[in-house]
Chains A and B, each alone.
Chain A
Amino acid sequence: MHVPVGVKVGLFAVAVMGSYSYFANSIPQIESKPPQELSLEGGNVTPAQLVKAGEEIFHTKGTCEICHRIGQPGTRAPDLAGAGGRAAKRKPGMSAKAYLIESLLQPQAYVVEGYPPIMPAVDKPPIALNRSEVWALTAFLESLGGTVDVTLNDIPASVGAAAAGGGAAEFKIPGDPQAGAQVFQGKGTCIACHKAGKIGASPVGPDLSQIAKIQTPDYIMGKILNPAGMGTVAGFPKGVMPQDFGTRLTSKEYVDLVSFLLTLK
């Protein structure tokens, strides 16, 4: 059988280039996408676009993946596979949409059993998503096993105001921070385990030097009164913090202490 030279050479060239193509396709493929500035308010957005934008936020700005995984239970937070479908059954009488928005904006309102209540509100620093981004993120979570029906009007207009303003929302508490510092070092014995700015150095409990920046007043107040119920920061031993501050401290001392802690930024 005589094969023409052109055919042989052609097949050879195809084989060579095919193997180059094959190799290039065999490594993980990364596309370089142009950066996007997300503002969806006012425009017409399809649910598909919204979900895509939300997924992007989930992976990037939202930093959700540090604790949450999809299709894999994390040690710090629940698996989000099927979250959109499950959300409707979490709280009786609450729609999936409302539950998801609540869990993003007020994470401590309902904490899934077996996990510590450590999630920060996504519209506050350091994550500080704006209203559009919360909208998109909700849509993405709904798309995980549910139907996407969230509209921008579902997201409270106040969302993201803190982020836009550049700091935490103004929060006034009628206490004396200086007296609170004395409580921290003295009667409260907090200093035995915690560090707060220049005061204290013990590494037993988490460093509180910037607690006001990373946690809400609600969390701080709750944690003092009910340490076990508020969960334990990852990496620290459980059940070390005394349970009896609510009975040992006077209400003035308690309010002073909280207002002191809120100065720690």
Chain B
Amino acid sequence: MTESVKLTIPSDPKYLSLARKIVYHLLINHDVSKEIIPRLVLCVDEACSNIIKYGYNGCRDQPIEMTFSLAEDFFEVKIRDYGKQCDSRDIKPRPIHEVKPGGLGTYFINEIMDEVNYCTNREKGTLLTMCKNLKGELASARREIG
């Protein structure tokens, strides 16, 4: 069975902490191992931060709509914004050997998530879908392996 939770926050950075806490509790309640949870939380945070910075250009009163879906071994996050669209081919993580500020958020998302898709096939904004296979990442599975 897949469980879904929806969350909408304004595009104000002060709400990022709230979104992180909700994702954390969702995953903890789903028995996801504590090793992987902070990484999944980081991906949601990075995606929202990028929307605020690039999609909404810092504007703080625009909606960021999130849907978190959890199945037994699967975590999917859909994040919808109505800001400036960008060509997904332009969304490039910075080369990891370059030590400079910026571009790291996309790198984190690509490193941690199994699937990442930016869909701009709509009148306004972007739908970002990120998926993580949780097989082997549930705390109970880890206890069995251990």
A and B: interacting chains: no
